């Protein structure tokens, strides 16, 4: 029972990660576990690096720095969500795309609002970082060059790097990123057909990405905390483009239609996320 909250957190992260436009990093931020997750991933990647260099003492030291009681239930929850809860959300997106997307818009904007409060001191430079990141993300997620036909293994490796960023980078939707680089259909087909070599290349790229990015983020969160959080806020705000409830088949944004109900759901999502975030922050402070 002590690990049940982390299992539930993993279920939420896994469910949202598999939704087009969703990402697990946003959920980790809302639930107040983002910096703990980054620190554990960084310690794990450092242990692997030390092991490969034959430094046994450093390997054991880094392994002790990993919060295993937190990380293992979280990973189990993410895996379970991939086969259970995510399918329910996928059905909701299929049957009620406008209202479900609107609720996710509220979730993302609520997470951005929570992150805004994590910045200790706002300056014009940090506000500029958030604004520029939001604009770049918004424009980049509107690019759709078409899907790559018969991609090489190196393309799957690069797709793994791009996609797995969404696990730990709020506002970076992995599935949408795959669509943007033209690899979404190829990856889905590889999973459906159980193609070992492409999936291995995809997994290798993802693992290396998580190791490198978690190390960089861990250092930056200690040395440039406010600037990093400002950039994450920009990513989340810019990623709303992929969740916009009214889009055509090409992904172009359309004017709102019957907007009152979706707006109410977006506001409800915002309030729920804000409330959950406040409770999670209070719980973390109590635990500390």
Residue from 284, 268, 287, 280 nearest 30 by CA: 280
How many domains is the chain built from? 1
Tokens of 12: 């939420």
Span 85-121, pLDDT tens digits: 666 766 777 788 888 888 888 888 888 888 888 888 9
pLDDT band at 15; cut points 50, 70, 90 = confident
pLDDT of residue 148: 76
pLDDT band at 18; cut points 50, 70, 90 = low
Length of the chain: 288
Residue with structure tokens 């880094």? Answer: 62
Whether 13 shows a pLDDT value over 90: the answer reads: no
Tokens of 255: 């004017």
pLDDT of residue 245: 86
Range of the domain at 224: 4-287
Share of the chain above pLDDT 90, in %: 18
* Higher local confidence (pLDDT), 129 or 27: 129
- State the CB neighbour count (10 A cutoff) for residue 280: 18
Span 180-198, pLDDT tens digits: 677 877 887 887 778 899 9
pLDDT of residue 250: 65
pLDDT of residue 253: 81
pLDDT of residue 90: 65
> Backbone phi, then psi, for 187, in 5-degree steps?
-70, -45
Can you tell me the distance from the alpha carbon of 92 to that of 123, in angstroms, rounded to the nearest whole number?
A: 41
């Amino acid at each position: 029972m002590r690990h049940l909250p982390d299992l539930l957190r993993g279920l939420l992260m896994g469910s949202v990660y598999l939704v087009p436009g969703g990402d697990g990093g946003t959920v980790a931020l809302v639930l107040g576990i983002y910096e703990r997750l980054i620190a554990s991933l960084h310690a794990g990647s450092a242990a692997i690096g030390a092991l490969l260099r034959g430094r046994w003492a450093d390997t054991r030291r880094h392994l002790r720095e990993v919060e295993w009681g937190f990380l293992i239930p979280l990973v189990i929850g993410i895996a379970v969500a991939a086969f259970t809860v995510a399918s329910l959300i996928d059905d909701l997106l299929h049957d009620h795309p406008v209202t479900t997307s609107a609720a996710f818009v509220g979730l993302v904007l609520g997470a951005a609002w929570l992150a805004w409060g994590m910045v200790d001191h706002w300056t014009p430079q940090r506000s500029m970082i958030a604004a520029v990141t939001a604009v770049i993300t918004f424009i980049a997620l509107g690019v759709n060059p078409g899907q790559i036909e018969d991609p090489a293994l190196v393309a799957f490796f690069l797709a793994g790097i791009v996609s797995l960023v969404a696990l730990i980078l709020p506002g970076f939707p992995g599935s949408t990123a795959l669509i943007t680089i033209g690899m979404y259909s190829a990856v889905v087909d590889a999973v459906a057909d159980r193609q070992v070599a492409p999936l291995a290349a995809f997994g290798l790229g993802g693992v290396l990405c998580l190791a490198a990015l978690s190390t960089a983020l861990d250092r930056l969160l200690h040395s440039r905390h406010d600037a990093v959080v400002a950039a994450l806020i920009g990513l989340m705000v810019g990623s709303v483009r992929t969740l916009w409830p009214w889009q055509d088949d090409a992904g172009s944004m359309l004017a709102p239609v019957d907007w009152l109900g979706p707006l109410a759901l977006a506001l409800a999502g915002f309030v729920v996320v804000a409330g959950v975030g406040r409770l999670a922050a209070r719980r973390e402070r109590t635990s500390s």
